Amino acid sequence: MPDDPKKKQVLRSAAWFGGQDRDGFNHRAWMRNQGLPSHVFDGRPVIGICNTWSELTPCNAHFRDIAEHVKRGVWEMGGFPVEFPVMSLGETLMRPTTMLYRNLASIDVEETIRANPLDGLVLLVGCDKTTPALMMGAASVDLPAIVVSGGPMLNGWFQGKRIGSGTAVWSMSEDVRAGKMELAAFMEAESCLSRSAGHCMTMGTASTMASMVEALGMGLPANAAIPAVDARRYVLAHMAGRRAVEMVREDLRMSKILTRAAFENAIRVNAAIGGSTNAIVHLLAVAGRIGVELTLDDFDKLGHDMPLLTDLMPHGKYLMEDFYYAGGLAAVIKSLGDLIHKDALTVNGKTLGENIAEAQNWNEEVIRTPQAPLKERAGIAVLRGNLCPDGAVIKPSAAMVPKLLQHRGRAVVFSSIEDFKARIDDPALDIDENCVMVLQGAGPKGYPGFPELGNLPLPKKVLKKGITDMVRISDARMSGTAYGAVVLHVSPESAVGGPLALVKDGDMIELDVEKRRLNLEVSEQELAQRRANWTPPKPHSDRGWVKLYQEHVQQAHLGCDLDFLIGKSGSAVPRPAH
């Protein structure tokens, strides 16, 4: 850092705004139409506020307010804030799945940053994929950047009970199918669920990724849990704006924070909070961009024996609002003691250890202690076997019936989600609670886009017996708000000829989570025969993004980034436009 950084630093933005020539004139003159005075072009840090606001992304619909608070902080510290939009990814509306567009949004983010006069960044993220998309794109440029999550919605309340985003939808819709809930009550619950601005307030993927932001050191303390409508969320945004200016002056780039130690912290924290399985593909992808070696097996190795410390839906009773009042993520991290790399640097210039030093747990019902965890071992288990040579994952804490984690059953195979929907409630379908439901064609290339279909609803006739869980296996993902004995991310996926494509009705499948095993009990000879008869599905499109995606997306165990996006291209100033 220079002795007097304010005076000596020549910033990237000076290549646009610093010249007295025709280009400098152009760059400044058009910006002035927004009412900007001369002094904003005096060489001060230009902070890009990368905004995923959209009315089609309800979880991020309050982001124009958040951006205004970030701007206050930037101005206050002598910076020059410029807000810009990028592709927004709304989990509930986009089809076939937001995951098809995560990498596309990351390209938008990366190229917009590099092409413009930006010295530092504040990334506004909320709904599930917006967090990894912005982090991936920004990591490939590697400027100083700070992430601000939009915060969870207030708790949902219905008939005197907490109801959680996603989680309640899955359980209530099963109750309607089982005849345990009236349709009118189900409809009434709709307006009781999403009571305020913010993202899903369960420990689903959005809350998980907001927690990952904090655990990685990319967000300010308390980023994970402050409710979206709590005034302190706006204070955090304000402080992030201030800090982004300082980070530019300190040249504190993403690569100085996103180290291997930071990712190890994130994996452990994800296990302790019972976070979403989606964090696996997102952390692998961000690591790939920033250049940190991380593998699927790291998630099992580092996380499998972590205690589950949060009693939050989908695995528990409470919600993110309760989590914040109980002490939030800092209280969890502090209780992990030496399992955390406390010397990992964070965006506020302090170490993670310094940030959590004063943390307190105010409610041991919501945030359990390692001595009395909700479950002894919570992490994600990585399975291997002839059904998933490159791996598959399961979140044991999400299983409703723990004995299903060691199970042998007869396969009932669905070749697509349409096939599943057409047959699952057919009284003639030969299925019972001991069967293993198998879904094919839901992987990254196969769907396309790797949708959240893995938590297949149970057959009505099984639900009516009072059964709440069955083993389900697919090459799909699962919503972080969902639950069940669900094996996900089977790799290689069926659409590229992975063994999942070869499973037939009646095959026996053995799942043994303790032994990390997932086996199809079919002879090699028979599998070779089936493989010889297998024909790959036709591509979904011969043009546009879907074609590019299908040709380049990597498999689940590698994080599903496009192969040519791995790594960084840096922040060098591009050639002039005129």
- Residue with Cβ nearer ligand FES (199 or 341): 199
Q: Which residues pair with 125 in a beta bridge?
A: 149
Task: For residue 558, give every residue at least 6 positions away whose Cβ sits within 8 Å of its Cβ, in sequence order, or none.
Answer: 284, 288, 296
Q: Which is nearer to ligand FES, 228 or 284 (CB)?
A: 228
- Torsion of the alpha carbons at 171, 172, 178 and 183, rounded to the nearest 10: -170
Cβ within 8 Å of residue 339, ≥6 positions away = 268, 306
| Cβ proximity to ligand FES, 140 vs 207, nearer residue | 207
- Smallest distance, ligand FES to C-beta of residue 200, A: 3
Of 27 and 199, which has the nearer Cβ to ligand FES?
A: 199
Strands 471-474 and 486-488 come out as: parallel
To ligand FES, the closest distance from the beta carbon of 92 in angstroms equals 5
CA distances 339 to 108, 267, 306, Å, are 36, 11, 9
> Do the Cβ atoms of 552 and 539 come closer than 8 Å?
no
DSSP-H helix ranges across 357-436: 417-423
Annotate 6-63 with three-state secondary structure.
HHHCCCCCHHHHCCCCHHHHHHHHHHHHHCCCHHHHCCCCEEEEEECCCCCCHHHCCH
Task: Please identify, using beta-carbon distances, which residue of 127 and 424 lies nearer to ligand FES.
Answer: 127
CB of 545 to ligand FES, least distance (A): 22
Q: Cβ of residue 214: shortest distance to ligand FES, in angstroms?
A: 16
Nearest distance in Å: CB 186, ligand FES: 19
Structural element, H or E, at residue 67: helix 63-76
Residue 376 beta carbon to ligand FES: minimum distance, rounded to whole angstroms: 29
CB 321 within 8 A of CB 154: yes
In the complex, least distance from residue 206 CB atom to ligand FES, rounded to whole angstroms? 3
Q: How far apart are CA 21 and CA 18, in angstroms?
A: 9
* Minimum CB–partner distance for residue 128 and ligand FES (Å): 5
Give the separation between CA 150 and CA 59, rounded to whole angstroms.
8
CB of 159 to ligand FES, least distance (A): 22
Nearer to ligand FES, 199 or 368 (CB): 199
Cβ proximity to ligand FES, 127 vs 431, nearer residue: 127
CB-nearer residue toward ligand FES: 92 or 295: 92
Q: Which residues bind ligand FES (CB under 6 A)?
A: 59, 91-92, 127-128, 165, 199-200, 204, 206
Phi and psi for 529 in degrees, rounded to 5? -65, -45
Given the complex with ligand FES, which of 165 and 397 has the nearer CB atom? Answer: 165
Query: What is the strand order of the sheet 486-488 is part of?
Result: 381-383, 392-394, 486-488, 471-474, 436-439, 406-414, 508-512, 517-520
Q: How far is the CB of 93 from ligand FES (least distance, A)?
A: 9
Query: How far apart are alpha carbons 45 and 567 in whole angstroms?
Result: 26
128 or 311: whose CB is closer to ligand FES?
A: 128
Rounded to the nearest 10 degrees, the angle between the axes of helix 205-216 and helix 278-290 is: 40
